[in-house]
Structure 1
Amino acid sequence: MGYDADKDEILEERRIETAEGRWIVAVLARYDGGEKKIGLSRLYAKKDGSENHAKLGRLTLDEVPRIVEAVTALVAEAREQV
């Protein structure tokens, strides 16, 4: 049985704008009612206006504390929802 997008539930999302005008996205999600997990990705706007996600990769030193803050908030929210 493969991945089913209908079973993917986004509980909370935080977007962090970077210096390049792009975004880092931190998501609290769960799949098929399972364990809550945090996902991190980069988000780019295409020329046609649509969005494209990419792996996070390397971080600038300015991005790190902002990501830590977003992830810490998501963890706190996940624990409150229990």
Structure 2
Amino acid sequence: MPTIVVDVMPKAELLDPQGKAVTGSLARLGHGKFQNVRIGKRIELTVDGEVTDEILAEAKQIADEVLSNQVIEDVVGIEVVE
């Protein structure tokens, strides 16, 4: 069954406290080359049958209206994986 993957990230202009904590941890563990970590979320929507343009459009609508908080997050990717 095909899966639609939705990637959501905090808006670039907003502070990402979880990412900042991971950045600090990496530096303390000796991985100081990584200066900025941003943490988002990945949502997988399994589709029963073929993924049509209509289903992709519906997935985009769901991503914008349900899966992300448009005030603080951006939907940065929607792709179909088999």
Q: Highest relative contact order (Cα 8 Å, sep 6+), 1 or 2?
A: 2
Structure with a larger share of its residues in strand = 1
TM-score under structure 2 length normalisation = 0.30
Larger % of helix: which?
Answer: 2
Larger Rg: 2
